[in-house]
Structure 1
Amino acid sequence: MHRSDVLIVGAGPTGLVLALWLVAQGVRPRIIDLNRQPATTSRALAVQARTLELYQQLDLTGHVLRHGHTVAAINLWVKGAPVAHLPLTRIGEGLTPYGFLQIFPQDEHERFLIERLRAEGISVERGVELRGFIDQGDQVQVQLLHPDGHLESAETLYLAGCDGARSTVRHGLGSGFPGGTYQQVFYVADVQGQGPTFNGELHVDLDEADFLAVFPLAGNGRARLIGTVRDERAARAESLRLEDISRRAIDHLKVQVDQLNWFSTYRVHHRVTEQFRVGRTFLLGDAAHVHSPAGGQGMNTGIGDAINLAWKLASVITGRADETLLDSYEPERIGFARQLVATTDRVFTFATAQGPVADLLRTRLAPLLIPRALALGAVREWLFRTVSQLTLNYRHSALSDGAAGHVHGGDRLPWVNAGGRDNFTALQTLEWQVHVYGKAGKDLQAVCATEGLRLHVFDWHPEHGEAGLARHALYLVRPDGYVALATGDHPAPALSDYLARSPRRPTP
């Protein structure tokens, strides 16, 4: 009988990232997918700054930057003319090494992750269907149907459902999926074309016509059209073609399609499952939460789920942590998912609402107020931090404690590149570590040595204070780059106390 440490169901970005991060931490997962071939079309495009930061841990970021497209600006259109130009190239400057919006289509993204996983000696088992599973307390027994009709019984320590919105794993758990479905039907078209909207920037039509956004892709004249259909045509969504789509929004944005590479329609839901974990089974990505594409959050949130869970599973499986560490996965991720669904729902509702008042807000007030608001540094920084997921934090987690400067336990470690040292370079080891910006006392050095914690001491620079860090304070950083403990008072005993009551055990 085949036995694995972690069986991952679903080989989209979430499942692939989970597998890669497990491998990097000494765990060999098994990954299956019902589809016989990798996806050749996709809806997800944006790779947010926080994802690029995390990808830096496994040296994935460079490929995404080289083969993707950096969006220079967003343009808002009304009645066939651009009315607002919002530069993006420096919107997150000083906050992250990746202060911009990066486009890298999901199908290309998946192929890259599959190649990296294969280089680690792990291949996706294609055409394999999960037919059932039973949590036996100390392991999970699964039934897998192979393409040749063979039904395999296998065992795994943990089961990870990364199998999308119609998740077999979620159905098997009986976990509810409350929420709703938007009335509009979305369409996606990958095109080769020309016109003013094929200039490498993002363009959005705000008219009362069907919603339409033109996303730039790498290469000359390539773009992704994402729009909605909301009249009687929505009833026959599955049979729609590009020729059936209203020309109003397309004409308003002066889009000339020379070649259609592919076209698809789909409905969008806004739902969050009731449970992210039941015993030895976990839900991640679209299996746990789905929402509108507003803000390009979906794929990035699934990747965040995967990295959050991966280091915890790896710690438990390799004996570096108590199993109670896994209790933190659901509370850390489910709150963000609920907040995200509510936020994207409000944005999407505003962008697609009908009626004279909604039309006035979108076409008159929004183009006037948005550029003025973004001219304010504080507003621009808040918007970037929110969309890029830099503000995502685990302050209310049982793993988070203390505060020093403006940084609380549970916050993302602020990025600083000062004095020739980038503090994120240290995070590539995927381990618990201690950061001190200033000086570390001998008592703290002794605790770190005893507990098997690598200590990184950075010479103090003004940039550290500007980022919110406190001089000489202690920051205990988790393997995913979030601060577990922050304290400026008696750092050595505070660290010892935290470790004594945390599920993390010292590295032998």
Structure 2
Amino acid sequence: MQKTDVLIVGAGPTGLVLALWLQAQGITVRIIDKTSAPGTTSRAMVVHARTLELYRQMGMADAVAAAGHPSRVVNMWARGKRRAQIDMRDFGGDITPYPYLLIYPQDHHEAFLCDQLAARGLSIERNTELLDAKDEGDHVTAKLRGPDGKTQTCTARFMVGADGAASTVRKGLGGKFKGGTYRSLLYVADVEVAQDMFNGNVHLSFEETDFLLVFPYGTEGKMRLVGSIRPERVARSVDLNFEDVGRESLHALGIQVTHLNWFSTYKSHHRMTDRFRHGNIFLAGDAAHIHSPAGGQGMNTGIGDAINLAWKLAAAVNGRGNDALLESYHAERAAFARTLIKTTDQAFNLASRKGSVFGFMRTYVVPNVAKLAFGLASARAAMFRAISQVAITYADGPLGAGKAGEVSGGDRLPFVQLDKGDNFGPLADIIWQVHVYGQPTDALHTWCSDRDIPLHVFGWNAACEAAGLEQGAAYLLRPDTYVGCAAPQGDTQLLETYMAGLGL
């Protein structure tokens, strides 16, 4: 019988990131996957700014950014003409160190994460599947079948199902997966074109009966296409191929495909489980929620699940924190997933549903409204914040307390450029820490010292004020870099009450 602190079922991006973050906190991990190798094709294409900010915590952001293709401009087309543009170059640098969409196919991304695991001495147990699991109250007993066909037993303090939409872990728990399947059939194609006509930008094209997303990446002229297939073409073809897709959108953008590397079709779903936590067993990523491809949110959301959960599991394994800390994983991530499904559902229905009304909305109303809205810098910034996931907040959740300036407990720490570097530098450690912008009080120095919590002091400047921070306030940051408690004037009583309430 093998023992481990955390058994992770599933070695996609969610499971891999969870393993990396747990291992970095000294937690023993076993990660299994029933497949023989990582996937070689993928639909997920974008790594968002918030994910890169979190990757910086592990020293991975620069390598990922260098391997991907940063796109700072998104163009919206309709009826063969560019109708609107979101240019992140004129505002994004004040929001995040990564003011762009990073085009980085999931198969490349997974290979990178696997290499990171190997470099840290962790191996993925391939061709190994979960047969059964039982929560024993203080641990989980799991029955596994290895590559030799023999069964084995593993005991773990916790188990996490990161094994995708058809999750064995979720099914074993009897968890519901409510939702539905969109009617539209979608395709994804990896192609090469005659020349890179789009200068590395992302493009979204609407026609009356279909839509197309274009992601340039890698060497010049290489693109990933994601689009809808017209219903009449689906009806008259059993085995669809690239020739059956909506060529009108391709022609409208002037795309001349010279080589098709691979092509596949798929149906998109919107579903969510009722509980992300069942005692000592947790669900994350697609095992907990799936949604439309609108906005490229799926993979990034799974990674966010993993990082939110990792520090809470680490605290519990080390005998720190109460059950409310573990329970907060469901409260925080389910709330975000629910909102995400609702918003992406609305966007996807508008982009893909057939009918003259939806066709008119796509090709006339949306482009004109977008052109007017994106003419405002504030609208462009708001759109970027939403899509990049830097707008995610847990302020209404159980772990948020206090408010100082415009920043509440549960918010992402605002990014501030300093004379030397930025205020995200100290976030490289997966620990609790306190930030003060201005002069900290003696009482705060004493509290941090007694609590063995690092105190980082930054000089006050106009950028701090513009970011919504309050001079002299204490911002207690969680190990996942979100603000836990925002204490005006460095109120140590508020900080102590907060930590004590979590059993820390």
- TM category, shorter: over 0.9
Question: Bigger CA drift: 252-261 or 73-82?
Answer: 73-82
What is aligned with 1:122?
122
- Structure 2 residue identity aligned to 1:388: S
Distance change (3 Å), C-alpha of 1:390 and 1:238: farther
Contact 1:68 1:218 in 2 (8 A): yes
Matched, 1:249 2:245: no
Distance in 2 separating the partners of 1:490 and 1:78:
53
What is aligned with 1:313?
313
Question: Bigger CA drift: 123-132 or 354-363?
Answer: 354-363
Distance in 1 separating the partners of 2:366 and 2:321:
50
What is aligned with 1:3?
3
What is aligned with 1:212?
212
Distance in 2 separating the partners of 1:452 and 1:112:
34
**Cα deviation code 1:289-331 (max 9, x no counterpart):** 1001101110000000000000111111123333442111000
- Structure 1 residue identity aligned to 2:482: Y
Distance change (3 Å), C-alpha of 1:312 and 1:251: same
Distance change (3 Å), C-alpha of 1:67 and 1:432: same
Structure 1 gaps of 5+ residues are none
**Cα deviation code 1:123-177 (max 9, x no counterpart):** 1111111111111111111111112211111111111000000000110111101
What is aligned with 1:464?
464
C-alpha displacement of 1:423:
1.2
Contact 2:47 2:101 in 1 (8 A): yes
Distance in 2 separating the partners of 1:64 and 1:501:
38
Distance in 2 separating the partners of 1:236 and 1:437:
64
Distance in 2 separating the partners of 1:198 and 1:465:
38
- Structure 2 residue identity aligned to 1:41: T
Matched, 1:300 2:300: yes
TM-score (norm 1): 0.96
**Cα deviation code 1:98-126 (max 9, x no counterpart):** 11111111000000000001111111111
What is aligned with 1:454?
454
C-alpha displacement of 1:82:
2.8
Distance in 2 separating the partners of 1:94 and 1:238:
50
What is aligned with 2:18?
18
Distance in 1 separating the partners of 2:195 and 2:423:
43
What is aligned with 1:157?
157
Contact 1:197 1:253 in 2 (8 A): no
Distance in 1 separating the partners of 2:197 and 2:165:
32
**Mapping for residues 200-349 of structure 1, pairs under 5 Å:** 200-234=200-234, 239-349=239-349
C-alpha displacement of 1:208:
1.1
TM-score (norm 2): 0.97
C-alpha displacement of 1:355:
2.6
| SS of structure 1 residue aligned to 2:207 | coil
Structure 2 gaps of 5+ residues are none
- Structure 1 residue identity aligned to 2:403: A
Contact 1:50 1:389 in 2 (8 A): yes
CA RMSD of aligned residues (A): 1.6
C-alpha displacement of 1:334:
0.2
**Cα deviation code 1:168-213 (max 9, x no counterpart):** 0110111101111000111110011135755311222211132211
What is aligned with 1:48?
48
What is aligned with 1:28?
28
- Structure 2 residue identity aligned to 1:492: T
**Cα deviation code 1:368-421 (max 9, x no counterpart):** 221221121221121111111111111122221110000001000111122324
| SS of structure 1 residue aligned to 2:92 | coil
Contact 1:198 1:222 in 2 (8 A): no
**Cα deviation code 1:68-118 (max 9, x no counterpart):** 111132222233333334323344220111111111110000000000011
What is aligned with 1:176?
176
Count of aligned residue pairs for this structure pair: 504
Distance in 2 separating the partners of 1:96 and 1:449:
30
Distance in 2 separating the partners of 1:417 and 1:286:
35
C-alpha displacement of 1:249:
2.1
Distance in 2 separating the partners of 1:321 and 1:453:
16
Distance in 2 separating the partners of 1:78 and 1:54:
35
